[in-house]
Structure 1
Amino acid sequence: MTRVLLTGFEPFDGAVLNSSWEAVRLAAGNPPDGLEVIPRRLSCVFGQAADELRAAVRDSEPDLVVCVGQADGRPDLSVERIAVNIDDARIPDNAGRQPVDQPVVPGGPAGYFATLPVKACVAAIRAAGLPASLSHSAGTFVCNHVFYALMHLLAARYPAVRGGFVHVPALPSQVLGRAVPSLPSSAVATGLGALLTAAADNHSDLRVSEGATH
């Protein structure tokens, strides 16, 4: 069995749900064959979320870590390629914190690449019938904060553990009356299951074009 730590976030910015956590709960409740999936919900708070993640990694001793966050406006499951060492919050977090131009880890590298086979994960989600893309920016809010904290932790303390981040669209109930893309949590959970299987089964990535011109 491959042990997977799968995290989502609590609601933020006044919402009552977070699509990432709703999908994570479903995916963990019906894990793919050969995987033990441990779900954890993280606070949407700079610093606190990273502390909670570090504790979850320590306690669960996973082989893989996949963090999931909600990205309003994105139409698909976006597998993130790189985390950057910057907190630059457009809105306050759930504790009212709004860091500007602050490093996630003072003195840390400018960025970390995900150690998941990101292109194979994108292909697996598409093969499961869900829209997916490779993303080259996880933003500068708590999602990127957690992604960078994860990769810094794995590089420093758990080099055998692979990790990454995926953004998912809002739920249909969150965008009523707005022209914003959405996906049901059941569909996102199916995509996450495909991603986890691909991550567990592939230690090298596909060599296909998933680049961007801007």
Structure 2
Amino acid sequence: MILLTGFEPFGEDKVNPSWLAAQGARELLAEEGMAVEAVELPCVFGESAAALTDAITRLNPDIVVCTGLAGGRGRVSLERVAINCDDARIPDNKGQRPIDEEVIPGGPAAYFSSLPIKAALRNLQIAGIKGEVSQTAGTYVCNHIFYALMHSLASKPGIRGGFVHLPYLPEQLPEGSTTPSMPLEAMTEGIAVVVRTALHTQGDPKFSAGAIH
């Protein structure tokens, strides 16, 4: 069983491409014969983690790929590490704005993704989809859910999971904007590539995909 998640819209955005792409990837993978579910998470600290935990308990997946919007990025961003820090620049959809609070009180400082992110990056490149390994998932609800996911999976060694950030859709941007974007079809296939890679890759190849800053 594969569990995919995306977020509801937040801020001034009317749509969230992460949820649209998660739904599209669910259909794509289901057509390939996989058991897969997609769950839309609220863009709310706490509630999003509870909804994810409930979905994991209900579905008992083998792989979990959570996704979110990273407006301004132009690639499918394979997140490497989640940190135990909520530090919201803007309020969530319930008006909460935690500052310098732990996602899980007393939890480890950070968790690494258990997905084969380097192999997934290589397969994205082969598929002609722009990808990158990202060293930060921010400190908003995306990092919150990434950390909550990995904290939950720490006691479930049979399940692998991680987080993927996605760009804006072209139609979300005003005409003439230079902000990076990506068509929904590419994001959808990108998520599917990550899932297929995780299903067929136990380890992860070693090649440079780091950052200087």
Shorter-chain TM-score tier: over 0.9
> In the aligned structure 1, how far is the partner of 2:21 from the partner of 2:128?
16
Provide the TM-score with structure 2 as the length reference. Answer: 0.97
State the Cα deviation string for residues 87-126 of structure 1 (Å, max 9, x = none): 0000000000000000000000000000011101111111
Long gaps (5+) in structure 1: none
Indicate the percent of aligned positions where both proteins have the same amino acid.
47
Q: Decide whether the 8 Å contact of 1:65 with 1:162 is kept in 2.
A: yes
RMSD of equivalent CA atoms: 1.0
Structure-1 residue corresponding to 2:94: 95
Deviation for aligned residue 1:170: 0.6
> In the aligned structure 2, how far is the partner of 1:40 from the partner of 1:146?
13
Amino acid at match of 2:48: A
> In the aligned structure 2, how far is the partner of 1:89 from the partner of 1:61?
31
Structure-2 residue corresponding to 1:57: 56
State the Cα deviation string for residues 18-64 of structure 1 (Å, max 9, x = none): 01001111110111735322100000000000000000101111000
State the Cα deviation string for residues 123-168 of structure 1 (Å, max 9, x = none): 1111111000000100000000000000000102x11100000000
> In the aligned structure 2, how far is the partner of 1:60 from the partner of 1:78?
26
Provide the TM-score with structure 1 as the length reference. Answer: 0.96
> In the aligned structure 2, how far is the partner of 1:193 from the partner of 1:205?
18
Structure-2 residue corresponding to 1:211: 210
Q: Decide whether the 8 Å contact of 1:125 with 1:192 is kept in 2.
A: no
Long gaps (5+) in structure 2: none
Structure-2 residue corresponding to 1:31: 29
- Most deviating of 68-77 and 185-194: 185-194
- Written as runs of structure 1 = structure 2, the 5 A alignment for 1:2-13 is 3-13=1-11
- Most deviating of 101-110 and 125-134: 125-134
Structure-2 residue corresponding to 1:137: 136
Aligned residues: 211
SS in 2 for 1:79: strand
